[in-house]
């Protein structure tokens, strides 16, 4: 039988931030494409190869992503500069960290190629969708969003935690959070979750 006496022992309010995940490398691209899009690794790599080799956009063949077989998280200075400018112009200066976000490569990483990213963030998915198949567009969008998000400020939440005593035997805890500032989630909200 449940006790009828409940007492709030404590309430804690905090601000919590959540940073974007690092730019894609081969293994993380395959994991995200599997989780988000339901693609097998072989399908992901075939589509990525197509995007890397290029698509004809207005009479010109353009490679849309960097090389897709890499375990590096390195990003060229030119790509960082272009992305930071794009984010500031599209979302405002509050979405740009003071310095570019740099992600450490694993100790065994081969650094011959950059991380997997769009060749230009100015080729937004909605601007080139007419040139891509449905699945190419879905994978390109995932790569584009993750790359842009990795160079944005963290999302900020207001969190509330309450400890509740229920009678003499039970201690309950309730937690909640509310988004205060979207940061990178303005581009990449929920993209890692299964759909």
Q: How far apart are CA 36 and CA 34, in angstroms?
A: 6
Q: Tell me if residue 134 falls in helix, strand or coil.
A: helix
Among candidate residues 52, 67, 103, 157, the one labeled active-site is 67
- Count the neighbouring beta carbons within 10 Å of the beta carbon of residue 50: 19
- Is 67 labeled as catalytic in the residue annotation? yes
C-alpha dihedral, 91 to 93 to 99 to 105, nearest 10° = -10
Give the list of residues 6+ apart from residue 154 with CB closer than 8 angstroms, or none: 17, 18, 19, 20, 183, 184
Q: Known catalytic residues?
A: 67
């Amino acid at each position: 039988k449940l006790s009828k006496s409940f007492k709030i022992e404590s309430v804690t309010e905090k601000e919590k931030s959540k940073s974007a995940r690092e730019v894609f490398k081969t293994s993380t691209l395959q994991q995200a494409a599997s989780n988000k899009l339901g693609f097998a690794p072989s399908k992901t790599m075939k589509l990525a190869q197509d995007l890397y080799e290029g698509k004809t956009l207005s009479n010109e063949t353009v490679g849309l992503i960097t090389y897709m077989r890499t375990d590096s998280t390195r990003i060229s200075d030119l790509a960082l500069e272009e992305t930071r400018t794009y984010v500031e112009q599209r979302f405002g200066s509050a979405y740009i960290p003071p310095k570019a976000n740099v992600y450490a490569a694993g100790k065994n990483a081969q650094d011959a190629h950059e991380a997997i990213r769009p060749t230009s963030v100015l080729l937004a998915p909605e601007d080139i969708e007419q040139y891509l198949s449905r699945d190419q567009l879905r994978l390109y969008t995932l790569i584009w969003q993750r790359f842009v998000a990795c160079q944005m400020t963290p999302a900020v939440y207001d969190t509330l935690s309450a400890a509740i005593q229920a009678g003499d035997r039970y201690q309950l805890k309730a937690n909640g959070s509310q988004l205060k500032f979207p940061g990178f989630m303005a581009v990449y909200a929920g993209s890692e979750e299964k759909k």
